[in-house]
Structure 1
Amino acid sequence: MTEHQDPILRIAAFSDGAVGGNPAGVWTGAVLPPADVMQRLAHQVGFSETAFAAPVDGGWRVRYFSPASEVPFCGHATIALGAALAGAHGDGVYALTLNAAAITVEGRRDAGGLVSAALQSPPTFSRAADPALVQAALALFGYGEADLDPRIAPGFAHAGADHLVLALASRAKLAAMRYDLEAGRALMAAYGLTTIVLAWAETGRLFHTRNPFAIGGVYEDPATGAGTAALAGYLRDIGWPHGGAIDVVQGEDMGMRSRLHADIGALPGSSIRVSGTARFMA
């Protein structure tokens, strides 16, 4: 099928009710287009990611493209896909086959036009961040060691994609985030990062985050499900007192306030459930 026969839906994932959220494109069809066509469509849409899905073996084969490249997993585009599948095929849980993982997404419509959606991330793992990477990232954003939260050491965290986690000591430092896009792209490419998760812990269970996505040609995402899953897995690994779940506010500094919830099971390395609402865009 061609892109003309299958228009791309625009859906804001992890919305704050009927506003905010991170826009994603969602394409569904009988067979996935060639990779170069998906890349071109994602570039034309211009959102940080577009999900492409086709039915296979009782589930859906899914690939994700940013305007600049394919990415292995995207949380907010998965939530948007869950909303699209619920709208087209009914409420339920859908099995998704990614390039290197098998996950699920759930979508359930409500009377107000929103969709409650939840994904189960790929397995998680983490380790201490490379000191050279930490120093390069601090220089990129103009931060110093004193700007970091000493309770959460910098970490390399994975939940379907690789992220650097930097916890900041104040909300003001998070709000002050600035960096050069090309320098950020080079740094992320050198270390194989999908995003850098900048986080501030307001409480043990409430975090404010920002997610530069320079490798995808996007300065910042207003909601990042993959980054939230990676952060949640990392907090579990370091023994953070999360009490089984965290809530994340993201996009506030962009004027696109978004809300994400992550349920954290006790088993190290296990999937993180990331949930929120999605709204269809005009």
Structure 2
Amino acid sequence: MIDEVTRVAAFCAGEKGGNPAGVWIGSTWPEAAQMQAVAAQVNYSETVFAVRADNGWRVRYFSPESEVPFCGHATIALGAVLALQQGDGVFPLTTNHVSITVQGTRTADGVAASLQSPPTSSAPVPQTLIDEALVLFGYTAADLDPRLAPALANGGAGHLIIPLNSRAALAAMRYDLDAGRMLMLREGFATIALVHAGSAQRFHARNPFASGGVYEDPATGAAAAALAGYLRDADWPHGGAIDIVQGEDMGVPCHLHVDIGPEPGSSVQVSGSARLIG
């Protein structure tokens, strides 16, 4: 199976960066243990497995340590591979929990893809959890952005969003992997999204992914969807779209674009470019 995995960098910043994902497409499902073993061998933050079903594809996502409900950058990678194999199109996908779509388009520079996320939602964070997260990352309440409260947000997977008041605070992010894993698994977080609003429509982000055994994810489409839904709920002046720069502090620049419709709770569209690895 490992030889059947296509490696793709999703959400590239031009010809650089991008978050690598594995893409496996087959005619029948392997055992879950096999998929988990392949994801561990590939050793990217996620590998997506897809099997033809009805008029679309049934998909499952695995990190090196566990199955995850949804992964944005692996979905973008899958859309790119499907476009290269079958031509440009919109491909219906069914995850373990919801039906979504991904559109793949071949371009002069490579491949672009856009996913239509699951529905979004957000809620306030208990103060005790905010305090625990600040201690984990070595922050204090003075590092928080007073314009945006921390939030519990979902765009296909659960995330804790912590808005910071400076780019320097974001760059200083450090934490203990085991302590982060315990917190994220206990609370059901896919990642913790640390973000800084450089402007109303441009955000910088870092996403610890300790729940999947990964210290930091260079581009996180699911968290981008969750953030966008939260900004809509918070009446943030996003103007209908935001851009997210991620991975810079890892030396892996990534760019995510999110279009945000006006209807509360509706899905958002997360877009980016992709390139094959090797």
Question: TM-score, length-normalised on structure 1?
Answer: 0.98
The question of 1:251 aligning with 2:247 is answered yes
- Partner Cα distance (2:130, 2:42) in 1: 33
Residue in 2 aligned with 1:133? 129
How far does residue 52 in structure 1 lie from its aligned partner after superposition?
0.2
The question of 1:163 aligning with 2:177 is answered no
Which portions of structure 1, spanning 4 or more consecutive aligned residues, are displaced by more than 3 angstroms? Answer: none
Aligned to 1:179, the other structure's residue is in SS state coil
Correspondences of 1:170-249 after superposition (within 5 Å): 170-249=166-245
The question of 1:154 aligning with 2:155 is answered no
**Equivalent of residue 30 in structure 2, options 30, 33, 40:** 33
- Partner Cα distance (1:79, 1:46) in 2: 18
Aligned to 1:232, the other structure's residue is in SS state helix
Aligned to 1:106, the other structure's residue is in SS state strand
The question of 1:16 aligning with 2:13 is answered yes
Amino acid at match of 2:265: G
Aligned to 2:208, the other structure's residue is in SS state strand
Residue in 1 aligned with 2:76? 79
1:184-206 CA-to-partner distances (Å, cap 9, x unmatched) read: 00000111111001000000000
- Partner Cα distance (1:249, 1:31) in 2: 37
How far does residue 31 in structure 1 lie from its aligned partner after superposition?
1.2
Which stretches in structure 2 are left out of the alignment for 5+ residues? none
Amino acid at match of 1:28: I
Residue in 2 aligned with 1:145? 141
**Equivalent of residue 111 in structure 2, options 103, 109, 115:** 115
How far does residue 159 in structure 1 lie from its aligned partner after superposition?
0.6
May I ask how many residue pairs the two structures share in their alignment? Answer: 278
Aligned to 1:274, the other structure's residue is in SS state strand
Tell me which moved more, 31-40 or 42-51: 31-40
How far does residue 130 in structure 1 lie from its aligned partner after superposition?
1.9
Asked if structure 2 preserves the Cα contact closer than 8 Å seen for 1:133 and 1:191, the reply is no
1:201-224 CA-to-partner distances (Å, cap 9, x unmatched) read: 000000000000000000001000
Aligned to 1:151, the other structure's residue is in SS state coil
- Partner Cα distance (1:69, 1:200) in 2: 29
How far does residue 18 in structure 1 lie from its aligned partner after superposition?
1.3
Aligned to 1:153, the other structure's residue is in SS state coil
Question: TM-score, length-normalised on structure 2?
Answer: 0.99
Amino acid at match of 1:89: Q
Residue in 1 aligned with 2:260? 264
Residue in 1 aligned with 2:53? 56
Amino acid at match of 2:151: G
How far does residue 21 in structure 1 lie from its aligned partner after superposition?
0.6
Asked if structure 2 preserves the Cα contact closer than 8 Å seen for 1:21 and 1:222, the reply is yes
How far does residue 111 in structure 1 lie from its aligned partner after superposition?
2.1
**Equivalent of residue 64 in structure 2, options 46, 64, 67:** 67
- Partner Cα distance (1:101, 1:261) in 2: 22
Tell me which moved more, 33-42 or 126-135: 126-135
CA RMSD of aligned residues (A): 0.7
- Partner Cα distance (1:265, 1:124) in 2: 11
1:50-85 CA-to-partner distances (Å, cap 9, x unmatched) read: 000000011000000000000000000000000010
- Partner Cα distance (2:104, 2:275) in 1: 12
Asked if structure 2 preserves the Cα contact closer than 8 Å seen for 1:125 and 1:233, the reply is yes
Aligned to 1:83, the other structure's residue is in SS state helix
Amino acid at match of 2:186: A
How far does residue 132 in structure 1 lie from its aligned partner after superposition?
1.6
Which stretches in structure 1 are left out of the alignment for 5+ residues? none
